[in-house]
A and B are shown apart, each in its own frame.
Chain A
Amino acid sequence: MAWKPVGVVVAAALIGAPALAQQKVEIGHLADYSGPTSDVGKPYGEGVADALAYIDKHGGAGGKLPMHVDTRDYGYKVPQAISAYKEWTSHNVAAIFGWGTADTEALIAFVTKDQMPYISGSYAGALTDPVGHADKTAAPYNFFYGPSYSDANRGLIQWAADDWKKKGKPGAPKYVHMGANHPYPNAPKAAGEAYAKELGFEVLPAIQFPLAPGDFTAQCLTLKQSGANYAYLGNTAGSNVSILKACQTAGVDVQFLGNVWGMDENAAKAAGTAANGVAFPLRTSAVWGDKVPGMATVTEVAKMSDPSGTNYRPIHYLAGLCTAFYMSEAIGMAAQKGKVDGPAIAQAFYVKKDWVPKGLEGVCRPSTWTAQDHRPTTEVEVYRVAVGGPTDAPVGELMQKGVIKLEKAAVINLPRKPEWLGW
């Protein structure tokens, strides 16, 4: 099967290569374009792929090392992720861009054993501990860009506490976690509820609603009856849209707090006015079209797959872009020191403090990885969705006309507590 002709040739060439500058570095990229998480996986995957193509066009990792990226759509199926990983590790791949909980968790033991840097789209707290304190699993080769799910949840709760105080309401506010009983929504549940209790919230029993969209009137009526003030929606965008719409019909007056993958421009369009006012965390400091210095680079990157430059790029695209730039700069730094292998790349991640990739100032948040702490940032940018009217038109048009607006509400600075590491 001639399915990896270039890869085989390059891998053979890489054996015993003295001058790395002339060889290509192999990179694996798992994406979900056709599976259940494709609504957020597609923009993120495109962001990573376009960024890597752009970097390669301008010399490669660190400006000197050309890259060969193998983008694999694994459809969120674990067996395909495993076989892709095995294929890559038998062909000297230097680093892998992972995607969601399914593949990251399935490969976590392999990645640690093979010392393969794995930067994922999964921001679970369990991936933040490289050393493995107490009974938590050590994950020294798992990286991600952005606040962890738990920290994002904590940040939103902090914002909620400030919001309650600003509104001048008496008494303790009520917080409820809503989500499916599934690894992704449950990832930050314990952390969020603990922090809410710490800040003086009355934590109500969690309300469950499944990941598949459907009728959630029952949950909304329960929510209304419980008198909650702040509700964290832990599910992915599809079912969040359903529950927002159901709760709008039921007339529930609650401030919804979204999660990183649970609210974006497309979800706001699908939910329409029901999404108005939802607060959610952003991994980047800007959205597409903002006037920041780094947006020029972002526009250039977007041109790699859309030469006209007119496609609107959602927030996940920018997050994927930043992720790719961080990894490629790390590979570049490792190459400069002479070796491009797992431990070298991991060490390269620890070099810079408050690191922003070159050319992306104002877009990517300053991130710091250390050998004891794989949380790149404990600052959470809280944005709010503002939907002004019917959302029939294409997303780009809606954003341009200002029908849907993503407005920065606050930047919450969480303390980098060591006891919050790993969960």
Chain B
Amino acid sequence: MASLRPSGDFRTSYAADTAIFDTRASRWACALAVALLCLGPLVLDKYWLSLLIQIGYLGIAALGLNILVGFTGQISIGHAAFFGFGAFASAWVANHTPVPVFFAIPLAGVATTAVGMLFGVPAARLKGLYLAIATLAAQYILQDFFSRADWFTGGVAGTPAAPFRVFGFALDGDQRYFYVVLAYMVVCYLLVANLMRTRDGRALVAVRDHYLSAEMMGINLTKYRTLSFGISSFFAGIGGALYAHYLGFVSVEGFDILVSIQFLGMIIIGGLGSIMGTLMGAVFMTVLPEAMQGATQLVSGSALDRALDLKQNVSYLREMAIGTVIILFLIFEPDGLAHRWRQIKAYWKLYPFSY
């Protein structure tokens, strides 16, 4: 079958070697998935559309974090602050300048890149836990800045964000905004997939794998580490801007350390260094609380509830279940969903010789 890859590396041209999609089948599967999603607003109700939109903007931000953590080997516990910066920047640009929302979102991404590179400068010298804690400091410093900078963020009262408009046609409401988010997702994921096959992308991976050797080969570590922070912040900013224009209101409350940890969870569970893994991780972390909420509604009022006398305590059970699912998942698959998916694909390709 032409869609199966032969075992071994038989690529005969440079173009084949650097292809984003390995087989024709995966390319068509991707296109089909996007086409199906385009039909989504016609059949799905607001709840599902809203979930998909959330997966969208969180997935874009998580992509940025995966570039930083998965591809460059740094670590960041301050991603939510950059996400928030993008949200506020986009709202500010849309409210205070004549720039329309359509351009405010990429501009917010660029602004967040600048901030990210600022915090990336110390990152050039720091390693390991020290870097992690420096990013934690960045999180708190930026959060404090959001609370104090009234001119930028509306201070503690928050700021409204204008709805997304194209030539005067407002694209707000779940059904229409879904297409905006879908477009951004496709573009961003393609951008990152492309980045990883360029020279710079390979340099980032080299920095992760063995930075001393990379340095000896002529890769400027400082430049690439700072660049990595900048790129990751760009996507965080775009994700944040999409979030702002979806909600229509940006408030300091939504960008605390727990959100940073959620992003980290997405890429770890999805698979570090894997683009598809980022999306899978974003889906997992967004759907998990909803699934647990659904399970809670099944349990409450049922025989189990009466037997254990849970009543309201069922929500504690739900939180514990979420934590336990994360723990169990990582115990059984520490390399993430992407790795598990590759294993499953390999199993079926090589069946019955998958040993």
Contacts and interface: CB of A to CB of B under 8 A. Distances in A.
A105 B154 CA distance: 13
Nearest to A34: B315
A102 B251 contact: yes
A90 B290 contact: no
B253 A86 contact: no
A33 B249 contact: no
A2 B298 contact: yes
B249 A108 contact: yes
A181 B156 contact: yes
Contacts of B289: 77, 79-80
Given A33-B312, A105-B158, A183 B253 contact: yes
Contacts of A106: 247, 249, 251, 253-254
B144 to A, nearest CB: 7
A137 B160 contact: yes
Given A1-B294, A106-B254, A126 B157 contact: yes
B335 interface: no
B300 to A, nearest CB: 9
B148 interface: yes
Given A82-B50, A108-B249, A75 B315 contact: yes
A87 B157 CA distance: 27
A372 interface: no
Nearest to B147: A181
A3 B249 contact: no
A158 interface: no
A319 B49 CA distance: 35
A165 interface: no
Contacts of A87: 46-47
A137 B253 CA distance: 18
B47 A83 contact: yes
Q: Please tell me the size bucket of the interface on A.
A: 35 or more
A109 B174 CA distance: 13
Interface string B282-322: 00001001110111011000000000000110011011000
Given A90-B46, A105-B158, A181-B148, A83 B51 contact: yes
Interface string A91-128: 00000000001100110111001000000000010100
- Tell me whether chain A's interface is mostly helix, strand or loop, or mixed: helix
Given A1-B294, A83-B51, A183-B156, A105 B253 contact: yes
A101 B333 CA distance: 38
B40 interface: no
A287 B169 CA distance: 53
Among A1, A46, A124, the most chain B Cβ lie within 10 Å of the Cβ of A1
A303 B144 CA distance: 45
A2 B301 CA distance: 14
A297 interface: no
A73 interface: yes
Interface string B131-157: 000000000000010011000000111
A410 interface: no
Given A73-B315, A90-B46, A109 B297 contact: no
B293 A3 contact: yes
A78 B254 contact: yes
Contacts of B236: none
A359 B251 CA distance: 39
Interface string B83-127: 000000000000000000000000000000000000000000000
B47 A90 contact: yes
A279 B204 CA distance: 59
Contacts of A101: 251, 253
B251 A183 contact: yes
Contact of B47 (A46, A77, A86, A102): A86
A4 interface: yes
Contact of B290 (A83, A108, A124, A126): A83
A72 interface: yes
A412 B218 CA distance: 74
A83 B253 CA distance: 17
Interface string A165-183: 0000000000000000111
A391 interface: no
A13 to B, nearest CB: 17
Contact of B294 (A3, A86, A186): A3
A89 interface: yes
Nearest to B312: A33
A229 B147 CA distance: 27
A292 B158 CA distance: 41
Contacts of B254: 78, 102, 106
B156 A182 contact: yes
Contacts of A80: 289-290, 293
Interface in A1-56: 1-4, 33-34, 42, 46
Given A33-B312, A187-B156, A102 B253 contact: yes
Interface in A194-245: none
Contact of A86 (B46, B252, B293): B46
Interface in A124-141: 124, 126, 137
Contacts of B334: none
B54 interface: yes
A35 to B, nearest CB: 9
Interface of B: 45-47, 49-51, 54, 144, 147-148, 155-158, 160, 172-174, 247-249, 251-254, 258, 286, 289-291, 293-295, 297-298, 311-312, 315-316, 318-319
CB-CB nearest 10 A-B residue pairs: A109-B248, A3-B294, A86-B50, A73-B315, A186-B156, A90-B45, A90-B46, A87-B47, A183-B156, A105-B251
17 contacts: A2-B298, A4-B297, A33-B316, A42-B312, A73-B318, A78-B254, A105-B251, A106-B253, A108-B248, A108-B249, A110-B247, A113-B248, A182-B147, A183-B253, A186-B147, A186-B156, A187-B156
Given A1-B291, A33-B312, A110-B248, 15 more contacts: A1-B294, A33-B316, A34-B315, A46-B312, A73-B318, A77-B258, A79-B286, A80-B293, A82-B247, A105-B251, A106-B249, A109-B249, A181-B147, A183-B157, A186-B157
